[in-house]
Chain A
Amino acid sequence: MSAERAITQLRAAEGRWTSALREHRLAPPDADFSRRLRDFADACEQQQAGFSYAAQAGLGWNPLPPATARRPPHELTPESGRRGPQELWKQFDETIDQLNVALQGVSLQAIARVFGELSEIARQLSVAVAEEDAAASRARRAV
């Protein structure tokens, strides 16, 4: 477990994370929402692995400056009228708040843990939205 390898992992995870966030920011409304959520879940999972690896390699974390909130792209906020189970979205919002707290802390393991939770919730949302889309498509064909 080397620091150099950990940094390489983190750079790859960061690339995927920023790409997933950018996709949500630039996407046209509705199209492919489920796939973007899945990509977001994958990116969070890679961040979890990267931060875990960095903690094991003995790296440290310089806390981000305090902010009242660190907000995801508009498509992932309540104001967008996002589709999917509201209970899951509530968990998503709470976990984004936990990520803000962890990023202002000093523990790489805490950040890894929150990214893991975020990945799990985003994956469930992706599946739920895909099922909603499939049901809507079936209903349209039946008319």
Chain B
Amino acid sequence: MEDPFVTVPEIAAELGVTEVSVRAWIRQGRLRAIKAGRSYRVRRSDLDRMTRVNGGEHPPEPSGPVSLESEPLIDQVLLPPDER
């Protein structure tokens, strides 16, 4: 069965997120990708697997209630690679 490659911009457009987020998933190992020169290529099947996992088929076990004050939001913001 055909399993085409998709690019980071294509994934970002498809999921409605920034390219920075997609590259972060790749660096964190949440999305499998191969390096093609300076960019990444992702197999469609790997993208589908990640979105299924994150979409609730096998969601990670949530913790109990936490306080809104306990997690600094600024720590979760990801800078573009050229700004780091």
Contact = CB atoms under 8 A, between A and B. Distances in A.
Given A11-B74, A59-B77, A108 B69 contact: no
Contacts of A85: none
A25 B69 contact: yes
Interface in B18-32: 18-21, 23-25, 28
B66 A60 contact: no
A88 interface: no
Interface of A: 3-4, 7, 10-11, 14, 17-18, 21-22, 25, 47, 54-55, 58-73, 96, 99, 103, 106-109
Contact of B18 (A10, A103, A108): A108
B37 interface: no
B80 A3 contact: yes
Nearest to B66: A67
